[in-house]
Structure 1
Amino acid sequence: MSATNKKFLDLTHLRRVFSYAAPYKGRFYFSIVLAILLAVITPVRPFLIQYTVDQYIAHSMVKWLVIMTIIQIGLLLVETAMRFFFSFMTSWLGQAVVRDLRVAVYKHILRLNLRQFDKTPIGTLTTRTINDIESINDIFADGLVPIIADLLSIICVLAYMFAVDWQLTFVALIPFPIILIATYYFRRSINKSFLSVRNAVASLNAFVQEHLTGMQVVQSFAIQDKEFRKFDSINREHRNANIKAIFAYSVFFPLIEIILALSISLIVWWSAGEALNLGKGQQGVIMSFILCLNLLFRPLRMIADKFNVLQMGIIASERVFKVLDNDDVTKDKPDAYDGGGKPLNGQINFENVTFAYTDENYVLKNVSFEVKAGETVAIVGHTGSGKTTIISLLNRLYQVKEGVIRIDGRDINDYSTDYLRKNIGVVLQDVFLFSGSVMDNITLRNPEISKEKVIEAAKLIDMHDFIMRLPGGYDYNVMERGATLSLGQRQLLSFIRAMLYQPSVLIMDEATSSVDTESEHLIQHAIDTLVKGRTAIVIAHRLSTIRKADRIIVLDRGEVKETGSHAELLAKGGFYAGLHAMQFASETAEPETNG
């Protein structure tokens, strides 16, 4: 048995999907009742036609013919209304479950540790959150409940046909083995095509997401043609998978129509023989059987397709539940400390902290240091020495492998995540701005923060005039990722954001790197304002920006090499002095020449 078939027969995921319909069980049960009623009512019209032809048309009873016609029209209207409510109800259920699942998945993604985003393409998560969850809607709209309704309808019609004339029914069903064989191969073909389409969609989403984000690199290195050929290859796979599905449909549906015509021909042939040999007229039966065959073949045409839709929905649900079942999340303890409305003091202790992004490559090795409350500490070192990892661990974006990190004497894992992160403000080198206004990006769309507070925070660090020079001021649209602003301008907005939230601990990661002199002056002023009265950790490559720090911690290959003030470390003539000499070679060379 193939893996695909195993997935189809394993109803674990299907039951789990239907558990999300529990809040709407009233509507679900109502749709089941409608399915049963529709199945029961389906053979009534063929019976009425048979009875009308044999009893009233044969005996020219016009009055009763009119009455029966009105009854059938009324019955048709009732059946149409029931089918409308059935279709609407199943689709409504599907959309309700999709909404709840999408909320659950996105809420869970927000809690995932960053390592999951390090190893999972964003396009893949996008596919899980949008495309795959949308496929789960088909389980309700075109899947299990509609399949049950179709099967019940087929059973009721067949029961009626056997009750009327079992011999004629067998004659009409002679071509059915062909349908079963065709359905089997159709289902297999469509299943393979659907799987290929799903995989191609995931690949397309991942590729487009990645390359649109990195378009500057693509264009800067003139590799548009190369990347387009990759995209064209993935897109061609998507097209070919869809064409295979179209081909299967193009063969299957006409084949069903041919088999229907063959069954009708067999009914006419058998009935004609009965009439010639036995003088047995079956006009009413023939007409009702022809209608019954249409009522049989209509669901049979779609049932194989619906089984595939159901299977694809189950496969999509498996992918979605893999995201939900990923327990690599930042979990709070049941008795997590939330501060009781008080801010942190800001004393930080790293005690023998060891960490690796992967099991074998350690980024931090037995790191220990202390930052006193209200102290400004700078962390320096070569690229890859572990500086940024320290702030990621402090914020619980990753979990410590060994050792412990304490704030105010308490293990950071004992704090609630929300309380901890609200008390730690982070200003990153690469500031991420969302599509929206300046105001939205400063407040992060927090409705509790008024514009007056934003303006007050901007004025404190001399940035109000800068914002007002933008077209529209605080309503200026920064576009996606802040594309319409310079790096320095984006950095300045992030400082207002940090100032507004009044964190107890402020972390600045390369806050003044890669900006012009004017922006650096404004940023330095913002830093001086922000660090007053709070604990600050400053990470910088440019050593000129950290001379005012109370202490400097020097990292190399994940280990603490030196600790001290700027003057003390220079006097030691050690690792920090070497870094300083490399950056200020011209200044150090001149005194040596004059000496």
Structure 2
Amino acid sequence: MTTGKRLFHYALDFKKMIIVALVMLTISVVTDLVGPFVAKNVIDQHILGIESVWYETSKGDKTVEFNGKYYKREKYVRKNDDKGEHIQILQVGATFVSIHQKLDFDGKRRFTGDKVIIKKGDNSVSYPAEVISGSQILKFYQPEISGILQLLALYFGLLIVSAIFQFGQRFILQKTANRIIQKMREDVFNHIQRLPIQYFDNLPAGKVVARITNDTEAIRELYVTVLATFFTSAINITGIYVALFILNAKLAAICLLLLPILYLWMIIYRKFASKYNRIIRSRNSDINAMINESIQGMSIIQAFGREKETTSDFEKLNREQFTYQNKLLSLNALTSHNLVGILRNLIFVAFIWYFGAQSLLPANVISLGMLYAFVDYINRLFEPVQGIVNQLANLEQALIAGERVFKLMDEPGENVSEERIPRIKGNVRFEHVSFGYKDREYVLKNINFEAKKGETIALVGHTGSGKSSIMNLLFRFYDSQKGKIVIDGKDIESIPRQTVRQHMGIVLQDPYLFTGTIASNVSLNDPLITREKVEKALKDVGADKVFSHLEKGYYEPVIEKGSTLSSGQRQLISFARALAFNPAILILDEATSSIDTETEAVIQEAMDVLKKGRTTFIIAHRLSTIRNADQILVLDRGVIVERGSHDELMSKEGMYYQMYQLQKGA
């Protein structure tokens, strides 16, 4: 499905609101487009209406006294009125004259002495005429005042109705657009939580953030501004063409040439704009990623004096984005104002040519009101055209942004299972497990071991030996390529990830804390973790001794990543978090490596409480912390080279013995 269709499907979720907005928009456009028709009637029927034929009649409503007689416009004469002689009033320059016969045709007028000469093409005719004074002309206008006022009242009434519905449709469309983007952002955020961990190994966090924030904001502009403008413009253009066909079908047909020209121009524009926008959005993501990385590593950048090099790398990305922004700016400058100017001139040339040719024919009379209406509608025609052209840049940005967002949403995610199983016992067995982060590059090779309920298994080895990879497989952050992992006799891959993780807890080497309080970081706002459970978990790990000096105790605010707390305090909170969720299997991934000696002593006192009734896996560099482990697995390059208790391994004087002696300084 194309990006445009997917964006359309998102809009369909709120189709009722959009339909209401479009109905209001249609009413607004129709009431607005009636204006030139009203103006045409004011000009032709009332302001220039006195140039029609006037019949002598008896004194009455809408009659005008002239030369001792009463006259009424032909328009107002009823069938039962007595009609006498007739006159016709003509305006020649600033002078008004009367003649006593109807015009054969109208054209260029000239008044000489007592005659009016009218010339059109090769035809010319003269009529005896009498000059009418200014005060008398005002009397002839008197019957038109009420009609003019009524039409003006109608005109302003239509403007008010148009303004009300215009406001309504804008409000509803923008509200709908915000709702669409709200739903899209929720969908994207929900989806990234379903993505496997390996996806984030290859994509910087800044790029993901850019797609959820910047790209969805560009899409919001599509619904708020671009589509609103396109809808408004389409209805306006349709209404204007209908009005033009009512006034003059031939000229309206000429104006139809505007549409294929506009369509062709849009195709040419999109060809180049899509390329530039794709690069701009990509560079924007790169910039976000670099800013995020620089902020995270600012201490390292400043400590090693890498400010200049980091700035240089940033300027390179910024310069590339600037270059393509300028290219897009040049393209927009060429295709916006210039396009509309060219099209407007073409239409006006056709307009002048058509009316100029028509005016040469004696049989054709073109009223001033008709000319006004045409000029007004043609000017109005280019307002929506200008709107469409000006929004092409935003349209292209939104489509590219949508393409990037949907690419993220198309990444295969994991189904979130609501299935719950009874608490597992914690018997874990690895059977001939081999695993690699890349195909055929195994970091674990034929791993076999068993951990029984309540046992503590320690994993030791040099960096890169595969210790953390075993934990990643056990937690199902990744799945093995060969062999299987069995928990309580069931293959772990036959159990949904969320279901098995419900009974597992983990404490990482570098614990992550969220913005909130110490207590909220323990419970993670899980309603099942009560305040009493939180406080008990913190007390069990000895946190009451460490946090007793804090003003608000366990409800002390924690900012992002817990940067105001020491590494030992963060680790204690992480321990309490794992304990509060009461897992059957507990994983400690080098959990004591960043803790000072005093805090380590506090944690060691709580370890027996933590491990009681749980199968515990400990990855440790400090071998002193695992002396009491039931089984120690020594890994080297993805292979288990030694296994046994501390005393058994020390008696072998193998790899474990050497590592232990090295740490003791022997």
Query: How far is the alpha carbon of 1:36 from its aligned partner?
Result: 4.5
> Which residue number corresponds to residue 133 of structure 1?
216
Residue 490 of structure 1 pairs with residue 545 of structure 2: no
Post-superposition Cα deviations, 1:215-274, rounded to whole Å, max 9, x if no partner, equal: 222122210111011112222333344344444445555433575477558756865775
> Which residue number corresponds to residue 559 of structure 2?
479
> Which residue number corresponds to residue 470 of structure 1?
550
Residue 49 of structure 1 pairs with residue 132 of structure 2: no
Larger RCO, structures 1/2 (Cα 8 Å, 6+ apart): 1
Q: What SS does the aligned partner of 1:300 have?
A: helix
2:635 to 542, 551, 555: 555
Mark the CA change 1:582 to 1:181 in structure 2 (over 3 Å): closer, same or farther: same
User: Could you tell which deviates more after superposition, 358-367 or 30-39?
Assistant: 30-39
Q: Write the letter of the residue equivalent to 1:291.
A: D
> Which residue number corresponds to residue 429 of structure 2?
349
TM-score normalised per structure 2 = 0.79
1:521 to 601, 606, 610: 601
User: Could you tell which deviates more after superposition, 353-362 or 439-448?
Assistant: 439-448
Percentage of identical aligned residues:
35
Q: Larger % of helix: which?
A: 1
> Which residue number corresponds to residue 593 of structure 1?
none
TM-score normalised per structure 1 = 0.88
Q: Distance in 1 between matches of 2:479 and 2:22?
A: 48
Residue 329 of structure 1 pairs with residue 414 of structure 2: yes
Q: What SS does the aligned partner of 2:515 have?
A: coil
1:31 to 11, 18, 21: 21
**1:266-345 counterparts in 2 under 5 A?**
267=351, 271=355, 278=362, 280-329=365-414, 338-339=420-421, 342-345=422-425
Query: How far is the alpha carbon of 1:435 from its aligned partner?
Result: 2.4
Query: How far is the alpha carbon of 1:526 from its aligned partner?
Result: 2.6
Mark the CA change 1:181 to 1:330 in structure 2 (over 3 Å): closer, same or farther: closer
Q: Distance in 1 between matches of 2:478 and 2:641?
A: 24
Query: How far is the alpha carbon of 1:69 from its aligned partner?
Result: 1.0
Q: Distance in 1 between matches of 2:591 and 2:41?
A: 87
Q: What SS does the aligned partner of 2:464 have?
A: coil
Q: Distance in 1 between matches of 2:261 and 2:649?
A: 87
Q: Distance in 2 between matches of 1:149 and 1:190?
A: 23
Query: How far is the alpha carbon of 1:361 from its aligned partner?
Result: 1.7
Query: How far is the alpha carbon of 1:183 from its aligned partner?
Result: 5.7
Q: Distance in 2 between matches of 1:437 and 1:128?
A: 29
Structure 2, gaps ≥5 residues long: 50-140
Q: What SS does the aligned partner of 1:549 have?
A: coil
> Which residue number corresponds to residue 195 of structure 1?
278
Give the conservation status (yes or no) of the 8 Å contact 2:277–2:400. Answer: no
Mark the CA change 1:176 to 1:329 in structure 2 (over 3 Å): closer, same or farther: closer
Q: What SS does the aligned partner of 2:634 have?
A: strand
> Which residue number corresponds to residue 72 of structure 1?
155
> Which residue number corresponds to residue 209 of structure 1?
292
Post-superposition Cα deviations, 1:474-516, rounded to whole Å, max 9, x if no partner, equal: 2323322111122112111111111211111111111111322
Query: How far is the alpha carbon of 1:308 from its aligned partner?
Result: 4.1
**1:171-570 counterparts in 2 under 5 A?**
187-188=270-271, 190-255=273-338, 256-257=340-341, 260=344, 263=347, 267=351, 271=355, 278=362, 280-329=365-414, 338-339=420-421, 342-570=422-650
- State which structure, 1 or 2, has the greater radius of gyration over its C-alpha atoms: 2
Query: How far is the alpha carbon of 1:310 from its aligned partner?
Result: 3.3
Give the conservation status (yes or no) of the 8 Å contact 1:271–1:282. Answer: no
Q: What SS does the aligned partner of 2:618 have?
A: strand
Give the conservation status (yes or no) of the 8 Å contact 1:379–1:539. Answer: yes
Give the conservation status (yes or no) of the 8 Å contact 2:519–2:554. Answer: yes
Give the conservation status (yes or no) of the 8 Å contact 1:32–1:145. Answer: no
> Which residue number corresponds to residue 138 of structure 2?
none
Give the conservation status (yes or no) of the 8 Å contact 2:273–2:396. Answer: no
User: Could you tell which deviates more after superposition, 190-199 or 524-533?
Assistant: 190-199
> Which residue number corresponds to residue 15 of structure 1?
5
Structure 1, gaps ≥5 residues long: 1-10, 587-595
Q: What SS does the aligned partner of 2:431 have?
A: strand
Q: Distance in 2 between matches of 1:446 and 1:303?
A: 50
Mark the CA change 1:397 to 1:261 in structure 2 (over 3 Å): closer, same or farther: same
User: Could you tell which deviates more after superposition, 514-523 or 426-435?
Assistant: 514-523
Q: What SS does the aligned partner of 1:404 have?
A: strand
Post-superposition Cα deviations, 1:497-539, rounded to whole Å, max 9, x if no partner, equal: 1121111111111111132211221122232321122111111
Give the conservation status (yes or no) of the 8 Å contact 2:529–2:581. Answer: no
Q: Distance in 1 between matches of 2:23 and 2:293?
A: 48
Q: Distance in 2 between matches of 1:330 and 1:386?
A: 28
User: Could you tell which deviates more after superposition, 54-63 or 311-320?
Assistant: 311-320
Mark the CA change 1:217 to 1:390 in structure 2 (over 3 Å): closer, same or farther: same
Q: Write the letter of the residue equivalent to 2:4.
A: L
Give the conservation status (yes or no) of the 8 Å contact 1:330–1:396. Answer: no
Give the conservation status (yes or no) of the 8 Å contact 1:337–1:415. Answer: no
Q: Write the letter of the residue equivalent to 1:116.
A: Y
Mark the CA change 1:172 to 1:533 in structure 2 (over 3 Å): closer, same or farther: closer
Mark the CA change 1:550 to 1:229 in structure 2 (over 3 Å): closer, same or farther: same
> Which residue number corresponds to residue 583 of structure 1?
663
Q: Distance in 2 between matches of 1:243 and 1:221?
A: 36
Query: How far is the alpha carbon of 1:446 from its aligned partner?
Result: 2.5
Query: How far is the alpha carbon of 1:56 from its aligned partner?
Result: 1.6
Q: Larger % of strand: which?
A: 2
Query: How far is the alpha carbon of 1:349 from its aligned partner?
Result: 0.7
Provide the aligned length of Structure 1 versus Structure 2. 571
Q: Distance in 1 between matches of 2:511 and 2:524?
A: 13
Q: Distance in 2 between matches of 1:560 and 1:211?
A: 39
Give the conservation status (yes or no) of the 8 Å contact 2:507–2:588. Answer: yes
> Which residue number corresponds to residue 200 of structure 2?
117
Q: Distance in 2 between matches of 1:305 and 1:370?
A: 68
Post-superposition Cα deviations, 1:389-432, rounded to whole Å, max 9, x if no partner, equal: 11111111112222111111112223343332221111111111
